């Protein structure tokens, strides 16, 4: 489920926070007209330079992926002019596409290689899955909101991503049929780390997940699985929507 979180804006090393209001519905996303492609490409390049490199995103593969994926294809039509702005955007159903910096930060923290098999919990519009697909061998992604799972599947297919597998279901349970995974990324916040996700992670793999209750700042947490257990590190303060369970809907 795509996150509704605080926007992290770094100004002279100080993180400041703001909140984006959400809408209720999602508009259809038709193909981009050829005339607008150069404009979007320029906006994408500015995003990489001004929002990512300027905030110390340094992994060249992540920067290249963020510079290739057409973010405008993953937002509603009327918001395409804001696709590369420095904040999340509503995609309907109470969900958002994450701020570009957050997408890049989580992707960099996951340390994806070209041979990686990655699980994403919370497909949303499919943008994070597309970024991962540029970097990994296989991406498995789960979305609990059925219309979002369907539209993300269609968008990813239209853009030619054949290594992304979308499933409608409860992300808390992971995708055991395809485990173990080299990396797992979660784009909604549980109040604890789901044990099924830890169980489905390879030894040496990483889990990047926001953890915490809804009445407090959550902590973006990076977990590494070792032969003797897990090593957990808290990083950014964030605010994501809760990780919804099937029985809670």
Question: Does some domain include residue 47?
Answer: yes
pLDDT at 246: 77
d(CA 50, CA 33): 26
pLDDT tier at 181 (50, 70, 90 boundaries)? very high
Dihedral (CA of 146, 190, 24, 8) sign: negative
Catalytic residue, candidates 60, 82, 90, 98: 98
d(CA 187, CA 54): 23
Chain segment 41-76, per-residue pLDDT in tens: 999 999 999 999 999 999 999 999 999 999 999 999
Region 142-154: what's the mean pLDDT? Answer: 97
Question: Does some domain include residue 2?
Answer: no
d(CA 122, CA 142): 6
Residues 132, 112 contacting (CB under 8 angstroms): yes
pLDDT at 30: 47
- Active site (annotated) includes residue 98: yes
CATH code at position 135: 3.40.50.150
Question: Does some domain include residue 70?
Answer: yes
Region 169-194: what's the mean pLDDT? Answer: 95
Chain segment 116-129, per-residue pLDDT in tens: 999 999 999 999 99
Residues 135, 114 contacting (CB under 8 angstroms): yes
d(CA 10, CA 8): 6
Domain that holds residue 86: 7-248
Question: Does some domain include residue 108?
Answer: yes
The total number of structural domains that make up the chain: 1
**pTM for the predicted model, two decimal places:** 0.85
């Amino acid at each position: 489920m795509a996150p509704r979180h605080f926007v992290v804006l770094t100004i002279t090393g100080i993180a400041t926070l703001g909140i984006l209001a959400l809408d209720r519905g999602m508009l259809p996303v038709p193909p981009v007209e050829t005339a607008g492609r150069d404009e979007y490409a320029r906006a994408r390049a500015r995003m990489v330079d001004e929002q990512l490199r300027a905030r110390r995103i340094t992994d060249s593969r992540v920067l290249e992926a963020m510079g290739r994926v057409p973010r405008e294809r993953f937002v509603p039509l009327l918001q395409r002019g804001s696709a590369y702005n420095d904040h999340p955007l509503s995609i309907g159903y109470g969900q958002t596409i994450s701020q570009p910096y957050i997408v890049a930060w989580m992707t960099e923290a996951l340390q994806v290689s070209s041979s990686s098999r990655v699980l994403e919990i919370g497909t949303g519009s499919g943008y994070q899955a597309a970024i991962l697909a540029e970097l990994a061998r296989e991406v498995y992604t789960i979305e609990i909101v059925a219309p979002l799972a369907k539209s993300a599947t269609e968008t990813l297919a239209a853009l030619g991503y054949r290594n992304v597998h979308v499933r409608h279901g409860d992300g808390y349970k992971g995708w055991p049929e395809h485990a173990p995974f080299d990396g797992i990324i979660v784009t909604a916040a549980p109040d604890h780390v789901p044990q099924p996700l830890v169980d489905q992670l390879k030894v040496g793999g990483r889990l990047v997940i926001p953890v915490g209750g809804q009445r407090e700042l959550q902590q973006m947490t990076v977990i590494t699985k070792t032969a003797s257990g897990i090593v957990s590190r808290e990083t950014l303060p964030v605010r994501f929507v809760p990780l919804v369970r099937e029985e809670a809907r």
